[in-house]
Structure 1
Amino acid sequence: MIGDYDSLAEDFLAGLTPEEKTRLYNDLLALEDVHKLNQYSTYYTFKNLKRVARRHSERRKRTIRYMNNHNNELIIHQIHEQHFFKNNYCLQVYFNTTECSYVLVEALLSMLKAPTAKPLHTLRGITI
């Protein structure tokens, strides 16, 4: 399954311009920081009693949307969920309207972080 996400990420990045890749990289870095901070956090609050009456509510905090030249679409929603007094963070990743796991975001980040060009000169050690 992880290999599938790698090929999806590679195909998606192939259809982006360098400027879009830079924007995507910056957005995914910000997303990664927030996700690492909030993925296992849950808290309880007694604020917003109007939402408590509904028992369950969701609020999108941020949506990231990219479409490449091959009409592949990547949508990432950061969501704040509230169940009674319990609040937690949720992340939804969609690729062409199919829900994927966070592994796709990790695959995209690892490919964007990897150097694309080989160095022009390689240095060799001199033996004396």
Structure 2
Amino acid sequence: MQDDYTAIAEDFLAFLAKNEKTRLYNDLLALKAVHDMNQDTAYYTFKNIKRGVKKYSERRKRSFSYENDQHVELKIHQIHEQHFFKNAYRIEVSVGNHECGYVIVERLLEQLQAVPVRPFEYQEALI
């Protein structure tokens, strides 16, 4: 299955415009930082009583969407979900019509970093 994600990442990036690759690279770096910090964490809060009374709610915190020249779309959604008073973070990634896990994000980053580039071609955004 890991090889499938590598092939999907290669195919998607092969037809992505150069400026979109730069934007994707920076967005994936930011996504990785947030995901590393929030994965496998859950917390309880009584701050939002209205939402806490509901059995389940979810809110998209950040979404990314990229489409290559072959009209294959990469969608990434960072989601904050709440079950009663328990809050959690999760991520949804899809390429085309296929649901993928976070592994595809790692494969895309590997592919973008593995390509020999000229200096300053991929510019990391300073936060």
The answer to whether TM tops 0.5 is yes
Q: Which amino acid aligns with 2:32?
A: E
- Normalised by the size of structure 1, how large is the TM-score? 0.89
SS in 2 for 1:23: helix
Cα deviations by residue, 1:65-112 (Å, 9 ceiling, x for unpaired) = 000001110000000000011001010001112211111110000010
Match of 2:4 in 1: 4
Match of 1:83 in 2: 83
Match of 2:41 in 1: 41
SS in 2 for 1:47: coil
Cα deviations by residue, 1:37-82 (Å, 9 ceiling, x for unpaired) = 0001111000111111211000000000000001110000000000
Q: Percent identity?
A: 58
Cα deviations by residue, 1:9-52 (Å, 9 ceiling, x for unpaired) = 00000011111100000000000000000001111000111111
- Normalised by the size of structure 2, how large is the TM-score? 0.89
Match of 2:30 in 1: 30
Q: Which runs of 5+ in 2 are unaligned?
A: 118-127
SS in 2 for 1:40: coil
Match of 1:74 in 2: 74
Q: How many residues align?
A: 118
SS in 2 for 1:76: strand
Distance in 2 of aligned mates of 1:94 and 1:34? 18
Q: Which amino acid aligns with 1:9?
A: A
Q: Which amino acid aligns with 1:45?
A: T
Q: CA RMSD in A?
A: 1.3
Q: Which amino acid aligns with 1:100?
A: C
Distance in 2 of aligned mates of 1:24 and 1:65? 9
